[in-house]
């Protein structure tokens, strides 16, 4: 602030500068009675003299073109927030609409894939030893006899409705698909492959890790009761094992 031999300027007080600016604005806009900060002209001799000068030069003078400047200041305070509010509202609306459309349209595709991926990991890494142990512990489980054959016409399951099984070969997936509200059921039920696929294997692949089962019979999940919502990999393996043993018994007889 100080330079060489020049006199040291007084330190600047921002509040005082702001107050002086308010005073000058009031005088410039001829709002002499409203000087701001609760001050009046009589408190400040300099302001009183400047106001007297302003009043003196305004006598019989054409009016100042103040509206342009005043309205410009007003536009800063009143017009821009309105514009900002509109822009903000539009942006939020677009964001919400986009997010909603993404959830409604893309969520069905993403969720089954994610679930399928996690299910595959779960089965491949954790469940194999347990699966084998369960198979050993329950050689002939009390599970209902699943559809030994993958086609419901050959051996329809007692639990699912026969009408559904006769309509489509992918009956097992249609059970949870039509229920759709179970925690485990919706896996793949909203997927694009679940609804129209005549081949049961791609339909079941997201939900049941059939490709990792001991037998290549991917539609083994057809034995899953329609009211069963929580199906663990161990349950599936038990069913597959029992189904395999049932088939072997049928073949032996």
23: three-class secondary structure by DSSP: helix
Q: How far is CA 222 from CA 69, 137, 147, 148, 170, in A?
A: 80, 23, 7, 9, 8
Question: Helix 128-137 crosses helix 233-252 at what angle (to 10 degrees)?
Answer: 50
Q: Does 81 participate in binding other proteins (rule CB under 8 A)?
A: no
x/- mask, other proteins, residues 220-239, rule CB under 8 A, reads --------------------
Distance of CA 49 to the CA centre of its chain: 65
Q: Does 113 participate in binding other proteins (rule CB under 8 A)?
A: no
Contact segment (CB under 8 A) with other proteins among 74-82, 137-145, 199-207, 223-231 equals: 74-82
Q: Does 23 participate in binding other proteins (rule CB under 8 A)?
A: yes
Q: Does 7 participate in binding other proteins (rule CB under 8 A)?
A: no
Q: Does 45 participate in binding other proteins (rule CB under 8 A)?
A: yes
The least CB distance from residue 66 to other proteins, in Å, is 6
69: three-class secondary structure by DSSP: helix
Containing H/E element for 212?
none
d(CA 219, CA 86): 56
What is the gyration radius of the CA atoms in the chain, in angstroms?
Answer: 41
Distance of CA 146 to the CA centre of its chain: 40
Among 1, 3, 4, 16, binds other proteins (CB under 8 A): 16
Among 1, 8, 42, 68, binds other proteins (CB under 8 A): 68
Question: Residue 69 or residue 113: which is nearer to other proteins going by CB?
Answer: 69
CB 160, CB 226: distance < 8 Å: yes
Contact segment (CB under 8 A) with other proteins among 63-71, 85-93, 107-115, 186-194 equals: 63-71
Cβ count within 10 A of residue 80: 10
DSSP 187: T
The least CB distance from residue 50 to other proteins, in Å, is 5
Question: Residue 76 or residue 178: which is nearer to other proteins going by CB?
Answer: 76
Question: Residue 42 or residue 253: which is nearer to other proteins going by CB?
Answer: 42
DSSP 126: I
Contact segment (CB under 8 A) with other proteins among 61-69, 114-122, 199-207, 242-250 equals: 61-69
Residues that bind other proteins in the complex, under the rule CB under 8 A = 10, 12, 16-17, 20-21, 23-25, 27-30, 44-50, 52-69, 71-75, 79
């Amino acid at each position: 602030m100080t330079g060489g031999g020049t006199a040291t300027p007084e330190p600047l007080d921002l509040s005082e500068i702001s107050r002086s600016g308010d005073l000058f604005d009031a005088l410039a806009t001829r709002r002499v009675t409203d000087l701001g900060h609760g001050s009046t002209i009589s408190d400040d001799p300099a302001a009183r003299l400047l106001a007297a000068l302003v009043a003196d030069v305004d006598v019989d003078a054409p009016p100042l073109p103040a509206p342009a400047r005043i309205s410009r200041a007003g536009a800063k305070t009143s017009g821009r927030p309105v514009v900002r509010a509109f822009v903000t509202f539009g942006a939020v609306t677009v964001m919400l609409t986009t997010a909603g459309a993404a959830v409604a349209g893309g969520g069905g595709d993403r969720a089954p894939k994610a679930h399928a991926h996690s299910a595959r990991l779960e089965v491949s890494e954790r469940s194999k030893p347990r699966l084998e142990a369960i198979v050993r512990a329950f050689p002939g489980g009390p599970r209902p006899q699943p559809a030994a054959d993958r086609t419901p016409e050959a051996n329809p399951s007692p639990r699912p409705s026969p009408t559904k099984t006769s309509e489509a070969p992918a009956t097992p997936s249609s059970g949870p698909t039509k229920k759709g509200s179970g925690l485990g059921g919706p896996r793949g039920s909203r997927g694009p492959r679940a609804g129209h696929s005549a081949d049961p294997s791609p339909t079941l692949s997201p939900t049941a890790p059939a490709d990792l089962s001991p037998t290549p019979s991917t539609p083994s999940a057809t034995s899953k009761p329609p009211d069963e919502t929580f199906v663990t990999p161990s349950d599936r393996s038990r069913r597959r094992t029992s189904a395999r043993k049932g088939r072997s018994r049928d073949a032996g007889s």
